[in-house]
Structure 1
């Protein structure tokens, strides 16, 4: 299933990032939230567990992800609907917190999406998001793409470091400021990603969900096996077979303008 493949790939690592992200936002209980680009519901679930919201609406374009989220998250305070980040199916200035986890860089027009986040947030409400640091801080992907490019230099254009220049502090801050948000700040959130062995690292890349798994799916058997074998030699494997890496995300937050 689509949701299961995503969970195995990066969903499992997004939860500790979500927890630190929400501690940073420090939104009081009893607030109305939207999680845009909610995917399988990792951030939605964490909002429910940590912030005691009155309501959380998860929005995503993928029916597969939404189905997974609805099945896994059974809470009367939550709801899920199909929708585009650039044209949210929500009235203006109603929500206390609008968040997005690991999705902003995949929207066709991040500027429009940020403007929509600001539009639906009540004056003084929080607008925040986080994205992986593809350039340096997301170890599992950095090892993958460095190996892929070493084998086939023409692959460089597919590397998420090049595809998503938004995923850096300065572009994120500009995006939020240009959307009219105030008190904009950016910070890094870093969490450990420990794989029990090489197979625990490699197998999720065979699931087809995400840019790197999609690239693996496009390879013939010879090139896929060559990539697997090169990664096996490059990863820092400990004596017990485990692989200890880390994942860094960049998080941005701002406050919606207006007085009510």
Structure 2
């Protein structure tokens, strides 16, 4: 990718998204991070490229690193105006050639729990954040990319993030699995439709990775998950995920596919066995 290329990374202020942003920056691409927390955005820019300062953008608190080598835009992937602001920032810094959707929310709740049935509002919130939010970014970004001059064989690449839960959701993951399963299901139709605009669409489905969200997982629950590890016998590092994303961006023959990156993990049911 050329030095004038930009990439939008949603959820780019920590975990998988931040690792992707670091890879992009190292390749000469300007990563534009979209996230909901300004302080985390500032911290992400500092970790990527030194101290962050404000950029004038119609009153929106857009932050950029010295020299504009990385940018943060506060916002939510489910809000069209927020995504549009991030895309505008990306186009101010170069040509938008890549979008990597890492934003999402984890959730675990039984369909019938101790306090009653699963919250319908919460189910809708998870699907909205993980599936509707992903599609919102895809549709708006694809419209921008379709206007690009082709670079070689393509105008842009979109990489979405699913999860092993899309295939092997455990008990208590109905909402999360549904949201990530939707991301997997729309991958091929998106790739087929956007092929006419020379835009590739790929989904990556990570297994167990050491991200900030893992810090909230009780030690006993994590030990239970460890039993499913195969090889390598460890949780993935965010840079393992970022390495695959970087390859997808560079390899024009990867399209319309969901790629698992999980060390051969196959999740168990999550049900406790009765003695």
Normalised-by-shorter TM-score class: 0.5 to 0.7
What's the Cα RMSD here?
4.3
Shift of 1:101: 3.8
Shift of 1:183: 3.8
Cα distance change, pair 30–67 in 1 and its aligned pair in 2 (3 A): closer
Bigger share in strand: 1
Which residues of 2 match residues 2-21 of structure 1 at below 5 A?
none
| Contact 1:126/1:253, CA 8 A, preserved across alignment | no
Shift of 1:175: 3.2
Cα distance change, pair 186–107 in 1 and its aligned pair in 2 (3 A): closer
| Contact 1:56/1:78, CA 8 A, preserved across alignment | yes
| Contact 1:114/1:179, CA 8 A, preserved across alignment | no
Partner of 1:221: none
Structure 2 portions without partners, runs of 5+: 50-64, 105-128, 249-253, 257-275
Partner of 2:35: 60
| Contact 2:7/2:99, CA 8 A, preserved across alignment | yes
Cα distance change, pair 174–184 in 1 and its aligned pair in 2 (3 A): farther
Shift of 1:33: 0.6
> Are positions 1:120 and 2:144 aligned together?
yes
Q: 2:45 aligns with which of 70, 83, 86?
A: 70
| Contact 1:44/1:56, CA 8 A, preserved across alignment | yes
Cα distance change, pair 245–167 in 1 and its aligned pair in 2 (3 A): farther
Cα distance change, pair 178–190 in 1 and its aligned pair in 2 (3 A): closer
Shift of 1:191: 8.5
Q: Which SS does the other structure have where 1:235 is aligned?
A: coil
Shift of 1:44: 1.9
Partner of 2:124: none
Partner of 2:159: 129
* Larger RCO, structures 1/2 (Cα 8 Å, 6+ apart): 1
Structure 2 length as normaliser, TM-score?
0.50
Distance in 1 between residues matched to 2:48 and 2:90, nearest whole Å: 26
Shift of 1:78: 1.6
